[in-house]
Structure formats: C-alpha cells, structure tokens
Amino acid sequence: MSDAVEIVVNAKVLRVEPGVTVASALLNDDHHVFRRSTTGDVRAPVCGMGICYECRVTINGIAHQRACMVIVEHGMRVDTGNAP
C-alpha cells in the first residue's frame, strides 16, 4: 500500500486503501461499533448504500455522517461510538 491514505479513527492512525469508503475502512480494521443508540446499543452498517443511516459516525467534527457514503481522504478524522 505505497499510496495508502492515512486517517485517524478514535485517535488511532489507520493506513487504508485510497478510494474506499469510511465504512469499508472501519470494517477492514475490525471496527464494529459505528455508533450507539439512545439506549446504548451498538450500531453498525446494514445497507451499505446510504439508506439505513445505521453507520453514522463523526467525520472531521461533523456528527451523523454516513460512513458508507464518504470516501476516505488523507488526514480525515473519524470518531465512532467507541470513541474514548
């Protein structure tokens, strides 16, 4: 992965393939907690195509972004429901 893209997930640096979605990047790195419901239940992608809104994460400080609809960019900051 010489042309890998570096993103920061919950303060941990991740090297991922260019052109993948944030959802793919997280799942490939075994992140399964994308967000939490009002009652604290774990949520992760269901549809992978922008419909179900289950994969929402905070990207560059903006809450409720659909991880399956955003392509990774160098230096991107992603915070999930497991963020410290």
Please report, as ranges, the residues that interact with another protein according to CB under 8 A.
38, 53, 56, 62-64
Rounded Cα gap, residues 1 and 38, in angstroms? 38
Nearer to another protein, 14 or 35 (CB): 35
Q: What does each C-alpha distance from 39 to 15, 36, 62, 70 come to in angstroms?
A: 32, 8, 22, 26
Nearest distance in Å: CB 3, another protein: 33
Nearest distance in Å: CB 63, another protein: 6
Nearer to another protein, 16 or 81 (CB): 81
Q: Which of 39, 41, 75, 33 is nearest to 57 (CA)?
A: 33
Rounded Cα gap, residues 33 and 57, in angstroms? 10
Nearer to another protein, 31 or 56 (CB): 56
Nearest distance in Å: CB 40, another protein: 12
